[in-house]
C-alpha cells in the first residue's frame, strides 16, 4: 500500500517531527509513506469570511495539485465520519484488496479545507468534534495508520 499524507504548512516543532519520523519508520514493513507539505497562506486573526475563503481556496488548490487523479482521497474534516481504529484498519484493508492501494489523507491548514478539495475527497474522516491543531493531527494520523496496519496483520499493538 502507498499512503500519502498531504498537509498545509511546514512542521517546525521538533517533538512532532520526531514522533512522526518514528511512526513512519515503524510503517516501513507495512506501507510506503510519503509526507507532502504545501505552503500555507498568511491568516491574520481578524480576517473577513471572504478572506478566510480565499486562504482556504489557495491552500486547497495547492493540495489538489499534489494529488494524482487515481488516488483515493480521505479528507480529515470535523464533520466527517468518526471511526474506531478497527474501522480504519478494515477500510484500508478493503481499499488494498479492491485495487485502491494508493491512498492520500489530506489535512488542511488552520482554517480547514477548501470546498473544492472536499468535493474531490472520496470520504471525510473525523477524529472527533474537538478542534485539534493541524500540526498535532499529523502525528495522531500517522500513529492511527500504523495501528491499523498492526490490526490488519493480527499483531498486538492495538490493545
Kindly give, in sequence order, each residue whose CB lies less than 8 Å from that of residue 27, ignoring residues fewer than 6 positions away.
3, 33, 142, 145, 146, 149
109 annotated binding-site participant: no
105 annotated binding-site participant: no
7 annotated binding-site participant: no
Separation between Cα atoms, residue 75 and residue 82, nearest integer Å: 12
Residue 20, exposed/middle/buried by CB under 10 A (0-12, 13-18, 19+)?
A: buried
76 annotated binding-site participant: yes
14 annotated binding-site participant: no
Cross-strand partners of 32? 2
Binding residues: 76, 108, 127-132
Binding residues for S-adenosyl-L-methionine: 76, 108, 127-132
Amino acid at each position: 500500500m502507498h499512503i500519502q499524507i498531504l498537509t498545509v504548512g511546514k512542521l517546525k516543532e521538533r517533538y512532532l517531527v520526531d514522533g512522526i519520523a518514528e511512526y513512519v519508520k515503524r510503517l516501513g514493513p507495512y506501507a510506503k509513506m510519503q509526507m507532502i507539505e504545501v505552503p500555507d497562506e498568511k491568516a491574520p486573526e481578524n480576517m473577513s469570511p471572504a478572506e478566510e475563503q480565499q486562504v482556504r481556496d489557495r491552500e486547497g488548490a495547492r493540495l489538489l495539485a499534489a494529488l494524482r487523479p487515481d488516488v483515493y482521497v480521505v479528507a480529515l474534516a470535523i464533520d466527517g465520519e468518526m471511526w474506531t481504529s478497527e474501522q480504519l484498519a478494515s477500510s484500508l484493508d478493503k481499499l488494498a484488496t479492491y485495487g485502491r492501494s494508493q491512498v492520500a489523507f489530506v489535512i488542511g491548514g488552520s482554517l480547514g479545507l477548501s470546498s473544492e478539495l472536499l468535493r474531490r475527497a472520496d470520504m471525510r474522516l473525523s477524529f472527533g468534534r474537538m478542534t485539534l491543531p493541524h500540526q498535532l493531527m499529523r502525528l495522531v494520523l500517522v500513529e492511527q495508520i500504523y495501528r491499523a496496519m498492526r490490526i490488519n496483520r493480527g499483531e498486538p499493538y492495538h490493545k
